[in-house]
Amino acid sequence: MNSKIENNVKKGFTLAEALITLVIIGVIAALTIPAILVNTEQHEYKSALKKALSALNQVIEMNIALEGYGPVEVDKPMSGGGDKEDSLFQFFQNRMNVISTSNAYAWGNTSNWAFFTADGMRYEFPNKPTAKGGTFNKDNMKCATAGAEIQDDTGTIYSEPCLIIVDVNGQRRPNPRKTAGSYKVPAATGKSKILDVFPIIITDKNAYPFGVVAQRAMFQHD
């Protein structure tokens, strides 16, 4: 009789066993959750970069189709002020959903003009663009395909692209900076971690990512 009762008794976990299980689960979570969050963040940056490039290319295509000119016909240098008409800044601002503008940002220079779009992205236009691994139009105007010798509406030949910086989550962190007001952009070469800031090349016909990091974010499937 006692033997049957003992066989029907259900055995459970002891308190010690339950605590050990919780500790193991906690350790696993501590090791995996940060990696999952970083991976999710990286995918968000990649998706946002693709969205930004699509928006920039749509502006170029639309302006060429409707107005008959592209970035190679832009006449005002960024050093003269991004608020002036017919600058690269104005070229994109006119056809994007811009909610605010500012000249308080810098990328290797002071007083770069930038605008924020409704989706929270920030587009910055360096007035003296420089980047390791590339040669760019010194005033960020007359944007042409590198080495292609593109003519503007006056027949003058240009062969250097322009460079803009896109912060895909605007004011939100990480906003990596070297110094106050100056954004740290991933190196043009190497295997840097994907950040929320990307250098973008603007030519007479399109926009595309500059450097290994930005191109990896755009084209690599993880």
pLDDT tens digits along 94-116: 999 999 988 877 665 556 888 99
> Which residues of the chain are modeled with pLDDT < 50?
none
- Distance CA(75)–CA(86), nearest Å, equals 6
pLDDT at site 34: 63
Residue 202: its H or E element: strand 197-202
Q: Residue 144 has which token pair?
A: 């042409």
pLDDT at site 121: 93
Model confidence, pTM? 0.77
Query: Which alpha helices (H) appear in the chain, and where do they start and end?
Result: 2-8, 15-67, 88-93, 211-219
Single-letter amino acid code for the residue at 78: M
197-202 and 162-167 as β-strands: parallel, antiparallel, unpaired? Answer: antiparallel
- Distance CA(84)–CA(93), nearest Å, equals 11
State the DSSP string of 138-178: TTS-S---TTS-EE-TTS-EE---EEEEEETTTTSS---EE
- Contact between 201 and 140 (Cβ < 8 Å): no
